[in-house]
Amino acid sequence: MRLLLPAKGAATRPVAWRMRAENSDGPAGSVVVVAPPGSVSAELIAGGRTIPVPLDAAGSGTAQLAPGMEAVVRARHASGAVIGATPVPQLEDSTDGVPGDTAATRVVP
């Protein structure tokens, strides 16, 4: 149930997760981002570079990121100010258990 519990600042942070490859437990190399309300852009910061994440009207988007690469997702306001930032979790190796059961499967850091 931890996955469903609100965390301080959750409404102003983007959320990101890595996708599994189709028909595989391995990584797809893509990250899905959901930006908080008021965001006009999002970006992944990884390996010293900025990777834009194009957002749709609902505030979500996808970008490519090498499996295993450490990253942070940031959401920006129209003024360019950062609304919030969140680490991008690694792809969990185990598919056993329920979401939120381990730290690696929780949405909040």
* Structural domain boundaries, residue 58: 12-90
Residue 88 phi, psi dihedral angles, 5° rounding: -90, 120
| Residue at 77 is within a domain | yes
Give residue 25's pLDDT: 72
> Residues 13-57: pLDDT tens digits?
998 988 877 877 777 789 999 999 999 999 999 999 999 999 999
| Residue at 85 is within a domain | yes
Q: For the chain, what is the domain count? A: 1
Give residue 22's pLDDT: 81
Give residue 103's pLDDT: 64
| Residue at 106 is within a domain | no
Amino acid at 51: I
Give residue 24's pLDDT: 74
| DSSP-derived secondary structure for 30-86 | EEEEEPPTT-SEEEEEETTEEEEE---TTSEEEEE--TT---EEEEE-TTS-EEEEE
> Residues 83-109: pLDDT tens digits?
999 899 887 766 666 666 666 656 555
| Residue at 74 is within a domain | yes
Look up the CATH number of the domain holding residue 83: 2.60.40.2470
